[in-house]
Amino acid sequence: MPSETRQPAFVLVRPQMGENIGAASRAMWNFGLDRMRLVSPRDGWPNPSAVAMASGAGRLLDEAQLVETTAQAVEDCDLVFATTARMRGLTKPVYSPEQAMKEAAERIAQGGKVAVMFGPERAGLENSDVALANALINVPVNPEFPSLNLAQCVLLCAYEWQRASSEIEALRVEMAGAEWASGIEVEKLAEHYEERLTEAGFFFPEHKAESMKLTLRNLWSRMPLTREDVKTLHGVMRQMVRWKERG
């Protein structure tokens, strides 16, 4: 059975190649989506090529809903998006994938049902399909080469759905068992270098010494140092002093 997580249905309208259906299922499952609806696949259904291409997303294909017409695929939905690279002279709002999936998440949170339609590989959705949609999704691509592979378009929308419906870390640092240095540890490192560099006559001329020290302190505070980094930098300075004293 499809997951109980509330999510949009992704509708593949008259897809032509089983491989592309399988690739689309993988793209959906990458981002936790498993509500696929198929409208009259050209090569029939089930399709061995789709299963082979789906790899670990085969369950999604097993549970895909098969219907004969686009209208049947979206009849239970109150918000329907149509993905298209061309503006077809129809008066409809046009969303980016990001904004469309934000709108989808808001509607679903309110109890609504949402579908996103993707057209066949050769020519995309027909006007009769697009007419069933409330809004369009247009991907900002190279105008000289606007055509997207079916699975690529599914992947873009699935990714934006996950961004809109869950907390995504914009940036993280893999610490690999390390810990960030504390403020006092960085301060002690700064003092160590300042003392040794003073002894070496680094802060010259004298009237610029305070400014140079401030610059160095700012450098340490700006660097994202781990405790291991601090130990290493202490060790570097100690070894340089020992080497100098041996000379």
Same domain, 61 and 141: yes
Does 177 map to a domain? no
Does 91 map to a domain? yes
Q: Count of domains in the chain?
A: 2
Same domain, 73 and 192: no
Does 170 map to a domain? no
In the chain, DSSP finds a helix count (H) and a strand count (E) of: 10, 7
According to DSSP, the residues that pair with 135 across neighbouring strands are 81
Same domain, 32 and 88: yes
> Mean of the pLDDT values across residues 91-114?
94
| pTM of the predicted model as reported, rounded to 2 decimal places | 0.73
Same domain, 128 and 203: no
Does 3 map to a domain? no
Tell me the pLDDT tens digit for each residue of 157-197: 999 999 998 865 666 777 788 898 999 999 999 999 999 99
Same domain, 61 and 145: yes
Q: Residue 239 is part of which domain span? A: 183-246
Q: Tokens 């339609």 belong to which residue?
A: 117
Confidence band of 1 (pLDDT split at 50, 70, 90): very low
Tell me the pLDDT tens digit for each residue of 10-67: 999 999 999 999 999 999 999 999 999 999 999 999 999 999 999 888 899 999 999 9
Q: In b/e form, how buried is each residue of 153-191, taking b as 16+ CB within 10 angstroms?
A: bbbbbbbbbbbbbeeeeeeeeeeeeeeebeeebbeebbe
- The enclosing domain of 110 has a CATH number of 3.40.1280.10
Same domain, 44 and 148: yes
Does 176 map to a domain? no
Tell me the pLDDT tens digit for each residue of 127-156: 999 999 999 999 888 888 877 899 999 999
